[in-house]
Structures are given as structure tokens and as C-alpha cells.
Amino acid sequence: MGKLVVCVAVVCSAAAAVMLMKRRMKNCGEWGKAMAILKEFEEKCATSVGKLRQVADAMSVEMHAGLVSEGGSKLKMLISYVDNLPTGDEQGLYYALDLGGTNFRVMRVQLGGKENRIVKHEVKEVSIPQNVMAGSSSDVLFDFIATALAEFVATEGDDFHLPPGRQRELGFTFSFPVKQLSIASGTLIKWTKGFSIEDVVGQDVVGELTKAMERVGLDVRVAALVNDTVGTLAGGRYNNPDVIAAVILGTGTNAAYVERAHAIPKWHGLLPKSGEMVINMEWGNFRSTHLPVTEYDQNLDAESLNPAEQIYEKMISGMYLGEILRRVLCRMAEEASLFGDYVPQRLKIPFILRTPDMAAMHHDESADLKVVGNKLKDILEVPNSTLKTRKIVVELCDIITSRGAHLSAAGIVGILKKLGIDTLKNGEKHRSVVAVDGALFERYTKFRNCMEGTIKELLGDAADSIVIELSSDGSGVGAALLAASHSQYLGLDES
């Protein structure tokens, strides 16, 4: 009997050892799959200096094509009608209205010329109710905005001075697709960001706002209609006369720059006295065969609200970086059991991984990657993750972020190339500044450092003459500044 017990124990022990060996072999096999997926993704995201130069060249070519004719390029290269950027000499009281999402901002600034600059400014943010965003009439939305603006104007204190007999003037930042007709008029092409008031489409948004202000008894002239990128350029130029372009790198992305008016063949009007015109590139729609598009990008695009559009934006902007990470992790979980024998259900929810969460994991420098573990637990409900798994997550963050930063850098170099300032000519020294706004650039340190380093690498000897400068919240103040630089009272004695 004793021999039988010993024999059974030996058999059980051997079976357990075999099971353990099989589990280890399975784990090794699955780990190998995970690493293979990682390596394949890294290779497909690769952006060599040579490839980035090709992207920059392609951006420059598309810019040229977009300036020749409407529809001649994936880049819209929209004429903004802004031909007078702020100089710092502006004086007086100006208002700004910034409408671009579920909240809008109203702002007033008192400008004091070169000596005093912005003497004082005040801002108020107003939340737009859902029934107003999706109302049945344009009057509902614009009356709501005009009423809030009138209430804000009514709180104007003694620190703000409007010369007697003058009309208040306003810069209107309207961050929706618009066909610009002049510096102070433009028709809405389509709503985005949850707005769906059909009878506004095709209408002049400045005209709608002006009528609403008249209905509430508010006497304010809209002096400039701009988008947020043009506003950022204006704000950047006000603070630094060397600013030649502005880039938004936030939830979305776009760029605007100062072009020589005679280099715009599709411009048929009189050349502006300044000889310059700000171009709103709408660069998020850039695409090229040189972009390192992966299967994850293709699937994200196919399932998006705007398939085959905004390809560049979907590879570099804050709205999408976290979603790309989720898609790669989902494949690893399904095919390589990255999180064990189950696929976290929450990992299947699109956009559950936000780019700020991704940045927090990417910036985790603790020995056990505690932040990564906490994020996986809190967001994806993965209770226990191994250090090896956490390291893979960080590696994926690095691959996705580096690609986005590299491509952003190539886009900026493309603009510099179009302007002919990407190289030093005859040893001449010049200084050009690109103003950048947006949370992705401002708060995602690894993205920012990688982008700036790549620009320097691509420019070589010319890098010392190009400055990338943060222009935090430049669009709101920029709209007020553009109202000043396009004021009906320009040239009159401000005293």
C-alpha cells in the first residue's frame, strides 16, 4: 500500500511538472508573439531621416499645388484675408469671441501700444446647452451667444476705455469649416464637434452673429473672422515680430503661415499693401505615400466619422494617439494573451485610452512602473499586470509618440522649405519663429522634446536660425489683436 501511495505521488508530481512546463512553454510562446507584434509595429512606424525629408518635400509640394487652384491639393491652403498682423502699436479696447466646442469664451483686452502692450484682459467661459447646439434654428444659438456677450460687455469696468463716439469691435474665432469671403465674412461649410443646426450651413456666420447682437441691443462690429490657428499666429506675431508660422498640436492639429501675396496664383484680388497674406493650411488633411501608415491607422480611419480624410491628423494629434495605443494593445491581448487568459472588456471600447493617460504612462520613471500599473487598473480594469507587460506598454507609447513627433517636425520643415528658409544661403543669418499652441505640445514633454530634436536634425546648419516657441492660449487674444489690426479706425488718432 505504501509503495502504491509513493507511486501515485510520483505520478502526480510528474504530471504537475509537465503541466508547469507546458504553461511555461505556452507563456514563452505567447510572449514571443507579443514581442513579434511589437517589433512589426515598430518597423512599420519607422521614420528615418531620409523618409522624413521626403515627407517635408511632399508637404512643400502640396502647399505649392494648393496655392495654385482650389482643389488642386489635399491641403486646402485657405486664404484668410488677414494681411495686417499685429505690430505691437495697437491701442484701445477690443473684444474677442472664441467658439470652437461645447464651451465658448468671451474676452476683452485693453491695448496700450508698444510701451504698455496688453494693459488688462478679462475672460469669461460659457457652457452651451445641448438643446442649443442641436437646435432647430440659427437664432437659438446666436441669440444665446449674443446674450452672453451683452452680459459680459455690461460688466466692463473703469479699467477699460472706449473713446467717445466709437463702436466696440470684436475678433470672432470660429473653429469650424468655413468658406472665407473677406476678413469679416464667411459661410459655414458644415458643423462638427456635436453641433447640428442645419439652417446655419451655407450662411454667413458673421451676419448671423451681427443680427443676433442687434436683436439684443448690442452695438458691436465684427472686425475679423478667423480660425484658432490664424489667431495663434497673430498672438505669436504680437509678442515676437519674427513669428512666421503657427502650429496647433492639441486634440486636433493645423498650421498657418505668412505667405508672399504674389506667390498665391489663386488670389485674384488686388495685392494687399503689406504684400503678405496669412494662409490657413488645414494641414491635418495632408497625405503622402511617404507616411508610415500601419494596419492600425487604416482600421482607425475606416471606422472614423470621416474615412479617407485627415490622415495626417489621425497620425499625430492628441485625439488619436491614445486610440492607436489601444488598438495595438487589443491585438496583443487577443493574439498573445498580454494580460493573461482574458481580454479586458474595457480594452474593446474605442477611445477609452486618452492621450493624457498615455503621456502619464510614457513619463513613468518609477522602477516598477507604478503609474502604468495604476492606469491599466483604473482605465482597463486589469487588476494585476506584470512588469514585463508594463514595459511593453511604455515601449508602445514611445513608438507611437516618436512617430507623431517626427511627422510633426517634418511638416514644420516642409513649411520652412516652402518659404525658402530651411537652409542657410551664402552664410546669411536670419531668425524665424514658429509659434506652437496646444496641450499635446505643451504638456506631453517627450513628444515636445522629440519634435524639437527632429527639427534640428532635419535642418542641420540652419537649425540655429529657427526657434520653436510655445504660444499658450494665443488664439483668443489673437482674435482681439486682429480686430485691432483690421479696425475701421486704423490711422485715426487714438487719443
Please give the grid coordinates belonging to residue 192.
462638427
Name the CA radius of gyration of the chain, rounded.
27
- Single out the catalytic residue among 73, 80, 83, 105: 105
User: 287 an active-site residue?
Assistant: no
CB atoms within 10 A of CB 20: 10
At which residue does the C-alpha cell 498672438 appear? 235
H or E element in which residue 446 lies = helix 445-459
- Single out the catalytic residue among 228, 297, 422, 437: 228
At which residue does the C-alpha cell 487604416 appear? 298
Max Cα-Cα span within the chain: 115
User: 228 an active-site residue?
Assistant: yes
Pinpoint the alpha helices (H) of 308-386: 311-316, 318-336, 355-362, 370-380
H or E element in which residue 437 lies = strand 432-437
User: 105 an active-site residue?
Assistant: yes
H or E element in which residue 103 lies = strand 103-112
- Cβ atoms of 311 and 286 within 8 Å: the answer is yes
Pinpoint the alpha helices (H) of 113-202: 113-116, 130-133, 138-153
CB atoms within 10 A of CB 437: 27
Please give the grid coordinates belonging to residue 346.
474595457
Q: How far apart are the C-alpha atoms of 200 and 180, rounded to whole Å?
A: 15
- Single out the catalytic residue among 80, 175, 317, 465: 175
* Residues designated as active site: 105, 175, 228
